Structure formats: structure tokens, C-alpha cells
Amino acid sequence: MAPPSTGQVLLADDLSALQVLHAVLADTVAAFPGAFGAVGLPATAEAFRSVYPDVLPRFEASRLASDSRSAIARHLAAALAANLVWRDESGARPLQEALAEPADPLPLETHAFDGRSGWQPELVYRGERWEATRLAELGGLLVSRRMITPGAGDALAWVGESLLDAGVLQLTGRKIAVLGGGAEMAPTRLWLASGADVLWLDTQPPPRSWWQKPGMSGRLFWPGGNADLLTKPQAVLATLIEFAGGTPLDLGLYAYAPGQARELRLTASMSALVNALPDELVASVTMLVSPTTPTAMSASDLAAMDARLAARPLWEAALARLGLLGSGGGRVAVGDAAATRTVVAIQGASYQAAQYLGKIMMAESWASPDRSGSVRSQPLRVSANTAAITRTRSLSHPVFAAAFGGAAAFGVETLTPRQSRRVNGLLAVHDWMHPDLPVPGAVRVHGGTEEDELVSPNGEGTDRPPQP
């Protein structure tokens, strides 16, 4: 086979992420004119730049209220895919077309850990260690504190009651491919400790310190060179197929990098790889949705927010009346549908485009039983849960530091990366193995329901967004 061409995944026509987001929304408004009459989408990308934190929640609330909700999601996902190209010395062509070209898989290295397989998923929360056998109790506490939705509490209870054997989770025999295996939010090591065969795909190799971890189990596979999803997507696809060996894969989509629209390009590239895999090789797809992206609010979410608003202390109500907690509140409602109003502009348009188009819309289009206009013949099992507000390394911004410092006073809790990995790793396994198909977005680890905005969404963005 001829050596692969050198190229990279880019946005079509050298557009910026903001321009792509605006163009995709504008195209969708034109395609579904009856659904978005009150959105107020500006005519130009430049005008959109200063108002997208307000427009995007209105757009999602309008989509949720529409009878064409799923069709709109598929349209948005397809429009994003159409704006992704592979550019090499022969020119630019659609990424999905380039992925159909033959490529050699990346040579893999392997390490088999000799510890006894099984992960005991204990968690430290508020100074108390919660053993694996107390997952149902922990879930109930987190629900009572409005840290997680009731669906997340039920999921933790089910894992504890149905999947654990003497407090141990066993994943022996499962094949898990983690795109972005070294991402701070990826539960890679935990799934490996459960005895699974894990394929690590990242620009850096796995840490050799894992070799010295006592009791580690499972088998770890990784490319000897880097597995950059933006420069080697064809080889990554071939590697996934070879690693699968005819066995369905659990695919974890965690790759992340800021700057140069890489958030959007990486997320869309991972989606393109999933779409290029045969149906029989995809057991599940897992991703994490940011808590600062507009998502659907359930009746229990709205009731909890109203209860929190009614019971808030006098000092908080006084600050709200003075306009010191932002304006507009934490939700947008259209009819009986509501979406969170939590966009933070300093995260940048690329981050929001990746989260909203590349994750939420793609997840809904994959999971929908209505396959009209879909690139896949069968709905996928998709775990797309809202992640906790997590103090990751990428949150090194003074605004977020100030917000974290004051959030607790408003009943909003943040988690450490270790806590998030454990909670989200368990919720993902629930979504893989529960008899019922998961509903993307139904499970949320939101950290607390709050009607006021604790971080103002207004102002120009920087290029240092947080994970996931």
C-alpha cells in the first residue's frame, strides 16, 4: 500500500468555528422556518459573535419544543459534517470521503497487567469514603443535594445492585477504545482495572507509571507513534477495525485540545470515525457533555430550580434584584420545553460548537429510532451524560477560579477530576449494560440547580475552555 498522504482535518473554506456555528444554525433555520421564529439569529457571523451565548439557548429550547426535534438534530449533525474536510497535497475533500480511502493500521504495543481483574469503585465525597457497596446510598445523597438528577441516582444504584460482585466491577472480555485516552476526564485506567482490553489512542503514549500500580489488570494497547486524530484519521480508523477483530467496541470519545478550532475539529473527527465504522463493530459510544452547553431540562430539573429559587437566602435575592447575578436566569422556556441558559462566552465559539453540534446533536441523531436522513442504518447505544463542573487543569482562568470560590455559597458544588472520572465512568458502564437504551442528556451531574447566573455569559471569548 502506498504511504499515506500528509494532511489534516480542517474546517471547510478556511472558516472559523464561529462562522461554522453561525452557518449551520442559519441553514437549519432556513430548513425548518416554523421552528425558530423567536430565536433572533443575526444575519451575519460578526453580529452573532457578541450574542451567541444568548441565542444558542433560545435555539435549543425552540428545537426541543418542535415536533421535528429529532429531524432538526440530524440536520444539524449533517451540516456540521459537511463543514469538515481532509486537506492534503491533492486538495480538500469531505472527511467522510477521505475516510473511505484504504490505510494501514498503526502498529500497536501491548502490556498485559498481572493483577487480579476488578475495580472497586469507591469514592470520597465531602470527606467521607463511600465504598462500592454503598453506591445506592451515595446516589440518594447526591440527588438530595441536587448534585445529580434522579436518573443519575438510579443509575448508580443499578450498577451497585446489578453489576458489582462483592463490590467489584468486572469488564473482562469487553473491548474499549478510548479516543483521547490521556484526557483528564477519561476513565481509561478505571476501565482497564476492571479487566477490559483497552485501546489507548492519543498524541502521547500511556504513562509508564501505570506499570507500577499494584493490582492493575486488563490489557492495554497503544500505537508506538502518536495517534493524532487530525493528521491520521484514516490510520486510526484502520486501527479501530483491526483492534475490534470482529468484536463490537465500546467507543469513548474524549479527545480534547484548545486553540485553532481544535475543539470543534477533534469532536467532529471523532464523530466521523464512528460513522465510518460498520454497525456490527459499535457496541456503544460514550461522550461527556459540558454543563455550560444548552441541554434539555426535565420537569424534575425545573421543579428543583423553582424550589431553590423560592428558598434562597435574603442576601442572594437582594443581589439578584440589584442585577449582580446576571440577567435572564438560568433557563430558556419555549412552550413546555426548556433548555439550560449556561453558556460562558470566555470558553469560545469553537468549544460551544463542538459541544452543541458535535456532541448533543450528534448523540441525538445516533440514538434516535427514526433513521430517515441518518448515515447509520441502526440507532446506536449512546452514553451522552452531562458532566459535573470539574476543576480540571484547563480551568486555569481567573474568572473560573472566582466562580469556583463563590459557587458553594449558592448551593453549587464542583468536583475534582478524580471524583468526576469515577462517577462518569460508572454512569457510562450503566449505559453500556442496562437492558434499556440510554437517552442522551437524561442523566446529568450538574453540581446544583441555580436560577441565577453565577458566571456572566457576556463578553468576548478566550481560547482556554474547560473540559470536557
pLDDT on residue 186: 94
Whether residue 390 is predicted with pLDDT greater than 80 in this model: the reply is no
Confidence of residue 394 (pLDDT cuts 50, 70, 90): low
pLDDT at 127 over 80: yes
DSSP run (H or E) holding 179: strand 175-179
- The pLDDT-based confidence of 328 (bands split at 50, 70, 90) is low
**Structure confidence at residue 99 (pLDDT):** 97
Q: For residue 129, which of 448, 447, 426, 418 has the smallest C-alpha distance?
A: 418
Percent of the chain with pLDDT over 70: 83
Distance CA(3)–CA(120), nearest Å, equals 45
Per-residue model confidence (pLDDT) at position 457: 40
Which residue matches cell numbers 473554506? 13
DSSP 160: I
Q: How far is CA 364 from CA 77, 210, 301, 423, 438, in A?
A: 9, 36, 20, 22, 11
Q: How confident is the model at residue 372 (pLDDT cuts 50, 70, 90)?
A: confident
Q: Answer with the residue of higher pLDDT: 90 or 460.
A: 90
* pLDDT of res. 317: 54
431, three cell numbers: 449505559
Buried b / exposed e over 41-69, threshold 16 CB at 10 Å, is: bbeebeebbebbbbbbbbbbbbbbbbeeb
What residue type is 57 in one-letter code?
A: P
Q: Is the peptide bond before 468 cis (omega within 30 degrees of 0)?
A: yes
- Work out the pLDDT band at 375, boundaries 50, 70, 90: confident
pLDDT tens, 450-465? 444 444 343 333 333 3
Query: CA 256 to CA 181: how far, in whole Å?
Result: 10
E strand or H helix at 455, and its extent?
Answer: none
Q: What is the pLDDT of residues 143-167, one digit of tens each?
A: 988 888 899 999 999 999 999 998 9
Mean pLDDT of the chain: 86
Please identify which residue in the block is written with the cell numbers 421543579.
303
Compute φ and ψ for 294, nearest 5 degrees.
-60, 125
pLDDT of the residue at 1: 47
The answer on pLDDT for 371 being more than 70 is yes
pLDDT of 359 reads 96
pTM beyond cutoff 0.75? yes
For residue 419, what pLDDT band results from cuts at 50, 70 and 90? confident
**Burial class of 251 by CB neighbour count within 10 A (0 to 12, 13 to 18, 19+):** buried
Strand 249-253's sheet: what is its strand order? Answer: 108-112, 219-223, 197-201, 175-179, 249-253, 282-289, 382-386
Q: What is the pLDDT of residue 453?
A: 41
Q: How is 232-290 classified by DSSP, letter by letter? A: -HHHHHHHHHHHHTTS-EEEEE-----STTHHHHHHHHHHHHHHHS-GGGEEEEEEEE-
CB-CB contact of 452 with 324 (8 Å): no
Q: Quick check: 402 pLDDT over 90? A: no
At 145 the pLDDT is: 85
| Residues forming beta bridges with residue 39, ordered by sequence position | none
Distance CA 364, CA 371 (A): 11
Report pLDDT digits (tens) over 188-216. Answer: 999 999 999 999 999 999 999 999 888 78
Q: What is the mean pLDDT of residues 40-56?
A: 95
Supply the DSSP string of 335-372, one letter for each residue. Answer: TTEEEE----GGG-HHHHHIIIIIIIIHHHHHH-S--T
Number of other CB atoms surrounding residue 327 within 10 Å = 12
**pLDDT category, 302, cuts 50, 70, 90?**
low
Query: Which three cell numbers, joined as nine digits, stand for 164?
Result: 458489582
Specify whether the CB–CB gap between 431 and 286 falls below 8 A. yes
Placement of cell 504511504 in the chain = 3
- CA 190, CA 425: separation in Å to the nearest integer? 7
In tens, the pLDDT along 223-266 reads 988 899 999 999 999 999 999 999 999 999 999 998 889 999 99
The three-class DSSP label of residue 136 is helix
pLDDT bin (cut points 50, 70, 90) of residue 351 is very high
Task: State the sign of the Cα–Cα–Cα–Cα dihedral 286, 74, 60, 273.
Answer: positive
More confident residue, 357 or 213: 357
Q: Which contacts qualify for 36-41: CB closer than 8 Å, 24 or more apart?
A: 36/62, 36/63, 37/62, 38/62, 38/334
